[in-house]
Structure 1
Amino acid sequence: MNLSPRLIVPDPDRASAFYQAALGAERVFSAPPVGADDGRPSVIEHRVGEATFRVSPSVEAWGWRSPDDLGGSAVLIEMEADDPDAVGERMVAHGAEVTVPIENRPSGKRSGRTRDPFGHLWIITGPLR
């Protein structure tokens, strides 16, 4: 079994550029527009390490709504990194906002949270420092 989250965003190309710059994601696939031919790709797939995720446009007729459409995100995406501080700093440098600072936690991990420019919430975790 393989799970591949799909993040719904207003502008998949802009989101793809953010994830490539901020997370080092590799863009591996892009599908042409479907339905309301507004030029937005219907899906862009990314790879980070061994994980994959996709971004797709918000399309109200399909029930695909972005966090901004919903007033927030109901999902937390957790990523483990060798250097969570560096990942958090790159995300912020490219437009994310810190919601919980990255610091050593009693759980034995270093972690914190960001909200990306599209409203998706990320927990960034890694080894203690």
Structure 2
Amino acid sequence: MTIIHELFAYLCVHDTAAAIAFYGKVFGVTEKFRLTEPSGRIGHAELDFGSGGTLMLSDEFPEYDIRGARSIGATPVTLHLHVDDADAVVGRAIEAGATLQIPVQDQFYGERSGSFIDPFGHRWNVGHSIEDLSPEEMQRRYTAMLTPTTSR
């Protein structure tokens, strides 16, 4: 069996320099480094999210069929961050130009969370814990939420 030591999210965006600035403003992350082509296109950049988290970024490379979510028009991926204050982080994201997808609210799974689409087309879910639940309790609440009630 292969032992995996780390997993990194690697996003392709239409403007890596702008994405680095946005993520720095919203999440307070710092840039580790970037590799820039003579043309100015960023081939690779890494952001330090703290606690061992690194986000890798690159500009689009259409010649290799590497395109960002905004160019494609959708993203199948959601990045989920646990933070101290979801309301504050989502608020900063909206103020910095993100589009609110789901307002921050208390969720059945024991988090207060919400989601937004960043200016580069990527979906972020941001939450903080409000109660510690077992998987069984989360399933019970999920089932109850999705079960229609009938009135007599």
TM-score by length of structure 1 reads: 0.92
Q: Which has the higher contact order (CA 8 A, sep 6+)?
A: 1
List aligned pairs for 1:1-129, cutoff 5 A: 1-33=5-37, 37-50=38-51, 51-128=53-130
Query: Structure 2, unaligned stretches of length 5 or more?
Result: 132-152
Distance 2:86 2:71 in 1: 29
Deviations 1:40-72 (A, max 9, x none): 221110011221001100111112111122111
State which structure, 1 or 2, has the greater radius of gyration over its C-alpha atoms. 2
Deviations 1:46-99 (A, max 9, x none): 011221001100111112111122111111000010111111011111111110
Q: Which runs of 4+ in 1 moved over 4 A?
A: none
After TM superposition, give the deviation of residue 106 of structure 1 in Å: 1.2
Distance 1:119 1:16 in 2: 14
Distance 2:70 2:119 in 1: 10
Query: Structure 1, unaligned stretches of length 5 or more?
Result: none
RMSD: 1.3
Distance 1:63 1:2 in 2: 26
In proportion to residue count, which structure has more helix?
2
Percent identity over the alignment is 30
TM-score by length of structure 2 reads: 0.79
